[in-house]
Amino acid sequence: MRRTLIPDLVLDTYGARSSVGVTIEDGRIVEVRPATQGERLPGVALAPGFVNDHSHAFQRGLRGAVERIVPSRPHDDFWTWRERMYALANGLSPDTVREASRRCFEEMLSTGYTSVTEFHYVHHRPDGTPYEDPNALAKAVVLAAEDAGIRLLLLPVAYARGGLPRFRDASVRAFLRRVDDLRAWSEGRPLVEVGIAAHSVRAVPRGWLEEIGGYAKERDLPLHIHADEQQREIEECLSEHGVRPVELLAQAGFLGPDTTIIHATHAGDGELDLLAEHGASVCACPTTEGNLGDGFLPAEGILARGIRLSVGSDSHVRIDPFEELREIETNARRLAGRRNVLLGENETSPTPYLLRAGWGRDGIEPGDAADLVEIDPALADVEPRNLPSALVFGAGAGGVVRTWVDGRHAPDDNPGSSTFSAGL
Ligand SMILES: [Zn+2]
Alpha carbon 174 to chain centroid, angstroms: 27
Instruction: Please give the distance, rounded to the nearest whole angstrom, from the Cα atom of residue 226 to the centre of ligand 1.
Output: 6
pLDDT at 421: 34
Give the mean model confidence (pLDDT) for residues 270-298.
97
- Give the whole-angstrom CA distance, residue 266 versus residue 234: 8
Of the candidates 12, 53, 294, 314, the residue annotated as catalytic is 314
Instruction: Please give the distance, rounded to the nearest whole angstrom, from the Cα atom of residue 54 to the centre of ligand 1.
Output: 6
pLDDT at 412: 52
- Give the whole-angstrom CA distance, residue 114 versus residue 137: 22
Instruction: Please give the distance, rounded to the nearest whole angstrom, from the Cα atom of residue 314 to the centre of ligand 1.
Output: 5
Give the mean model confidence (pLDDT) for residues 395-418.
78
Q: Are 348 and 340 in contact (CB under 8 A)?
A: yes
pLDDT at 382: 84
Is it the case that residue 240 has pLDDT exceeding 50? yes
Q: Are 394 and 388 in contact (CB under 8 A)?
A: no
Is it the case that residue 174 has pLDDT exceeding 60? yes
23 Cβ contact list (under 8 Å, min separation 6): 2, 3, 4, 5, 29, 30, 31, 32, 35, 38
| Cα pseudo-dihedral 144, 148, 153, 158, rounded to 10 | -20
Is it the case that residue 296 has pLDDT exceeding 60? yes
pLDDT at 415: 44
Alpha-carbon distances, residue 357 vs 17, 126, 326 (angstroms)? 21, 37, 11
pLDDT at 90: 94
124 is a catalytic site residue: no
Instruction: Please give the distance, rounded to the nearest whole angstrom, from the Cα atom of residue 3 to the centre of ligand 1.
Output: 38
Phi-psi region of 235 (alpha: psi -120 to 50; beta: other; left: phi over 0): alpha
314 is a catalytic site residue: yes
Instruction: Please give the distance, rounded to the nearest whole angstrom, from the Cα atom of residue 224 to the centre of ligand 1.
Output: 10
Lowest mean pLDDT among 211-220, 264-273, 393-402: 393-402
Alpha carbon 273 to chain centroid, angstroms: 23
| DSSP symbol at 243 | S
Among 397, 263, 237, residue whose Cα is nearest residue 322: 397
Give the mean model confidence (pLDDT) for residues 190-208.
98
207 Cβ contact list (under 8 Å, min separation 6): 172
Q: Are 202 and 231 in contact (CB under 8 A)?
A: no
Round the average pLDDT of the chain to a whole number and report it: 94
pLDDT at 377: 61
Instruction: Please give the distance, rounded to the nearest whole angstrom, from the Cα atom of residue 312 to the centre of ligand 1.
Output: 9
pLDDT-derived band at 411, boundaries 50, 70, 90: confident
Instruction: Please give the distance, rounded to the nearest whole angstrom, from the Cα atom of residue 82 to the centre of ligand 1.
Output: 11
pLDDT at 380: 60
Q: Using one digit for the tens of pLDDT, what is the confidence trace for 311-328?
A: 999 999 999 999 999 999
Give the mean model confidence (pLDDT) for residues 391-418.
80
Residue 196, classed as helix, strand or coil, is strand
- Strand pairing category for 16-17 and 408-409: unpaired
| Cα pseudo-dihedral 65, 68, 70, 74, rounded to 10 | 150
| Cα pseudo-dihedral 266, 271, 273, 277, rounded to 10 | -130
Of the candidates 263, 316, 368, 371, the residue annotated as catalytic is 263
Instruction: Please give the distance, rounded to the nearest whole angstrom, from the Cα atom of residue 262 to the centre of ligand 1.
Output: 7
Is it the case that residue 112 has pLDDT exceeding 60? yes
Instruction: Please give the distance, rounded to the nearest whole angstrom, from the Cα atom of residue 14 to the centre of ligand 1.
Output: 31
pLDDT-derived band at 424, boundaries 50, 70, 90: very low
pLDDT at 164: 97
Give the mean model confidence (pLDDT) for residues 19-43.
96
Is it the case that residue 420 has pLDDT exceeding 60? no
Lowest mean pLDDT among 15-24, 62-71, 178-187, 230-239: 62-71
Give the mean model confidence (pLDDT) for residues 194-206.
98
pLDDT-derived band at 410, boundaries 50, 70, 90: confident
Percent of the chain's residues with pLDDT above 70: 96
- Give the whole-angstrom CA distance, residue 145 versus residue 49: 16
Could you tell me how many helices (H) and strands (E) the chain has, helices first?
Answer: 13, 17
pLDDT-derived band at 239, boundaries 50, 70, 90: very high
pLDDT-derived band at 71, boundaries 50, 70, 90: confident
- Give the whole-angstrom CA distance, residue 262 versus residue 222: 13
- Give the whole-angstrom CA distance, residue 176 versus residue 171: 9
